[in-house]
Amino acid sequence: MSFFKVEHLTMKFGGLVAVSDFSLTAKEGDLIGLIGPNGAGKTTAFNMITGRLLPTEGKIYFRGKDITGTQSHIINAGGIARTFQNIRLFNDLTVLENAMIGYHGRLRSSFWEAIFRLPRYKSEEKKMRSMARELLAEVQLDNVANEKAGTLAYGQQRKLEIARALATNPRLLLLDEPVAGMNPRETGNMMDFINSIREAYALAIILIEHDMRFVMGLCEHLIVLDHGVTIATGNPAEIQNNPQVIEAYLGEPEGA
Partner 1 sequence: MSDRHRREWIYKLCTYGAIVGLFAFFLQVQNQADEYQIRILNVSAIFVTLAVSYNLINGVAGQFSLGPNAFMAVGAYTTALLTLSPAEKELSFIIEPIIWPLSVLHLPFLPSLLIGGAFAALLGFIMAFPVFRVRGDYLAIVTLGFGEVIRVVANNVQSITNGPLGLKGLSEYTNLWWSWGVAVFTVFCVTRLVKSSFGRAMQAIREDEVAAAAMGINVFRHKMLAFVVHAFFAGMAGGLMAHLITTISPTLFSFFLTFNLLVIIVIGGLGSMTGSIIAAIIITYAGEWLRVVEEPMAIGPYNIPGIPGMRMVVFSIMLILVMIFARQGLMGRREFSWEWFCGFLKIGKRRG
When asked if residue 42 is in the footprint of partner 1 (CB under 8 A), the reply is no
Q: How far is the CB of 181 from partner 1 (least distance, A)?
A: 19
Which of 20, 50, 68, 187 forms a contact with partner 1 (CB under 8 A)?
A: 50
End-to-end alpha-carbon separation of the chain, Å?
A: 46
Among 1, 14, 92, 255, binds partner 1 (CB under 8 A): 92
Residue 234-253 contact track with partner 1, rule CB under 8 A, x = bound: --------------------
Please list the residues that pair with 173 across neighbouring strands: 81, 205
At 226 the three-state DSSP class reads strand
Which residue number, 110 or 235, has a Cβ lying nearer to partner 1?
Answer: 110
The 10 Å Cβ neighbour count of residue 112 is 9
In this chain, which stretch among 6-14, 98-106, 205-213, 247-255 interacts with partner 1, using CB under 8 A? 98-106
d(CA 35, CA 175) in angstroms, rounded, equals 12
Residue 73 Cβ vs partner 1, minimum distance, rounded to whole Å: 5
Q: Does 73 contact partner 1 by CB under 8 A?
A: yes
Let me know the angle formed at the C-alpha of 70 by 171 and 149, rounded to the nearest 5 degrees. 60
In sequence order, which residues have a C-beta less than 8 Å from that of residue 249 and are 6 or more positions away? 37
Region for residue 88 given its phi and psi (left: phi exceeds 0; alpha: psi -120 to 50; beta: otherwise): beta
Q: State which of positions 154-183 bind partner 1 (CB under 8 A).
A: 164-165, 167-168
Residues, the chain, total? 256
Is residue 213 left, alpha or beta, with left meaning phi > 0 and alpha meaning psi from -120 to 50? alpha
CB of 148 to partner 1, least distance (A): 10
Number of residues that bind partner 1 (CB under 8 A): 39
Identity of the residue, 75 or 239, whose beta carbon is nearer to partner 1 in the bound complex: 75
Nearest residue (CB) to partner 1, 14 versus 116: 116
Q: Are the C-beta atoms of 157 and 89 separated by less than 8 Å?
A: yes
Three-state DSSP class for residue 30:
coil
Segment 99-138, which members bind partner 1 (CB under 8 A)? 100-107, 111, 114-117, 121, 124-125, 128
Binding interface with partner 1 (CB under 8 A): 50-52, 71-73, 76-77, 81-82, 84, 88-93, 97, 100-107, 111, 114-117, 121, 124-125, 128, 164-165, 167-168
